[in-house]
Amino acid sequence: MNTIAHFLINLFIIGTIYPIGLKEVIIVLVASTIIDIDHIFTYFSAKHPNKKMFHSAKIRTKFHELYGIIFFSIIAGLLVILGVSKMIVQLIFLSYLLHIFVDFLFVHSRPMYPFDKTEISFDLFKFKRRVWLEIAICIYLGGVLCLILLN
Amino acid sequence: MSNPVKLNIVKSLRKLIDTPLMAMKLPNVDPDLISVLSVLLVVVAIMHHSNLWWVFGWVMASLIFDWMDGVIARKHNRATKRGYIVDVYCDRLSEGILFTVFFVPWFYLFILNMILTVIGFKTKVHFNLALRLIFLVVLVLQLAGLNWGFIIP
């Protein structure tokens, strides 16, 4: 899924749960998209980087899979104990989890990496159809967001 | 990890409930999609988090789908290692999404369950807490009036 679709889907879901202001939108935007930075690291550290890598599960580091969920959930739990605002932690972790779930649905992943290297892909849509679906999601949810902001 | 070892009590319970289900006519659908659907139902549940009756309904539906994926897989001989991974991963995702919203104390039990999942993969012994089921039981008690403050939307 593209970055904008991740942000809009997460904002749509999270907006029904928590009161959303500008600060919360920025938190959801950053938390929904920052994890995809690992694609860049993987791409540039590869011996023979090419475009096909972006369609494989190997472009995602372990922080995009079960290992990352464990790692960030422990950090989230500790932050709440240490007194950080529970709502902010919830916004960040929920954005991250929803990003992981959407990727699990639509792209190739290795959910149990690094504990197991089995690749999973549901192949719900062929690549071109998925691109059109992402465009449709961005236009629709983006339009709804604009309408809400204008009102 | 082709055949995770389950505790005997879990196996006995599964046999008790699965036997009548296996005798029924069940649709031959991809069990992985049923596992994914159980996560989607939890996402819907958290969107209705302020109404605990709706949460109960959606989480119950999620648990039913989570149970049915294994039954359908065994009924139609579609049980695979890939299916096991998808099932376990969807369980953890459902719990993570649900318990991020209902944070205390469930999120910490979710972390424990994640660690048990990893240990299960390493030792090939499947042992996890049925957190969503425990959550539902506590939720029912709360809705019945026994509010110990364990479920705060």
Q: What is the pLDDT of residues B117-135, one digit of tens each?
A: 999 888 888 788 899 999 9
Is the Cβ of A84 closer than 8 Å to some Cβ of chain B? no
Top-confidence residue, B40 or A40: B40
Contact yes or no for B103 and A90 at CB 8 A: yes
Helix (H, G, I), strand (E, B) or coil at A120: strand
Q: What does the pLDDT read at residue A70? A: 95
Q: Which residue of A has its CA nearest to B49?
A: A17
- A65: nearest CA partner in chain B: B89
Residue B50: pLDDT over 50: yes
Strand partners, B125: B5
Range of lowest pLDDT (A104-108, B15-19, B29-33): B15-19
Q: What proportion of chain B, given as a percentage, has pLDDT over 70?
A: 91
The predicted structure's pLDDT at residue B75? 84
Summarize pLDDT for A55-70 with one digit per residue, the tens: 677 778 888 899 999 9
Q: Is the pLDDT of residue A53 over 70?
A: no
Interface check A104 vs B, CB under 8 A: yes
Confidence at residue B1, expressed as pLDDT on a 0 to 100 scale: 42
Distance CA B107, CA B3 (A): 29
> Residues A10, A33: contact at Cβ < 8 Å?
no
Q: Who among A17, A111, A112 is closest to B47 (CB)? A: A17
Neighboring chain A residues of B87 at a CB cutoff of 8 Å:
none
The answer to whether A90 and A13 are in contact (CB under 8 A) is no
How does residue B3 score in pLDDT terms, banded at 50, 70 and 90? Answer: low
User: Which one has a higher pLDDT value, B58 or B7?
Assistant: B58
Q: What is the pLDDT of residue A2?
A: 85
- Residue A51 pLDDT more than 90? no
- Per-domain residue ranges of chain B: 29-143
Q: How many angstroms separate the CA of residue B16 from the nearest CA in chain A?
A: 30
What mean pLDDT value characterizes chain B?
86
- Assess whether the previous peptide bond of A49 is cis (omega < 30° from 0): no
pLDDT at B4: 58
ipTM: 0.88
| pLDDT tens track for A98-144 | 999 999 998 888 888 888 888 888 877 777 888 888 888 898 888 88
Whether B101 sits inside 8 A of A90 (CB atoms) is yes
Residue type at A146 in one-letter notation? C
- Contact B11/A at CB under 8 A: no
pLDDT of residue B135: 94
Using CA atoms, how far residue B40 sits from A64, B66, B95, B112, in Å, is 19, 11, 12, 23
Of A134-138, B4-8, B57-61, B80-84, the least confident: B4-8
The verdict on A111 touching B (C-beta cutoff 8 Å) is yes
Closest CA to B113 of A74, A109, A7, A18: A74
Task: Using an 8 Å CB-CB cutoff, list chain B residues near A122.
Answer: 32-33, 36
Token pair for residue A116?
């197991």
pLDDT of residue A1: 78
Mean pLDDT throughout B48-52?
Answer: 91
Which stretch of DSSP H or E encloses residue B125?
strand B125-126
In degrees and rounded to multiples of 5, residue A117 shows phi and psi of: -100, 15
C-alpha angle A86/A88/A94, rounded to 5°?
A: 95
Q: Under DSSP, is residue B3 helix (H, G, I), strand (E, B) or coil?
A: coil
A49 touching B, CB under 8 A?
Answer: no
Give the side-chain half-sphere CA count within 13 A for A42: 20
Reduce the DSSP state of residue A105 to 3 states and report it.
helix
Judged by a CB distance cut-off of 8 A, whether residue B124 touches chain A is no
Q: How far is residue A13's CA from residue A104's CA, in Å, rounded to a whole number?
A: 17
Residue pLDDT, tens place only, A74-103: 999 999 999 999 999 999 999 999 999 999
Q: What is the pLDDT of residue B2?
A: 46
Domain B29-143 in this protein, CATH class:
mainly alpha
Residue A121 at interface with chain B, using a CB cutoff of 8 Å: no
pLDDT score recorded for residue B123: 86
The model's pTM: 0.88
For residues A30-64, one letter each, b for 16 or more C-beta atoms within 10 angstroms of the residue's C-beta and e for the rest, the string is ebbbebbebeeebeeeeeeeeeeeeeebebbbebb
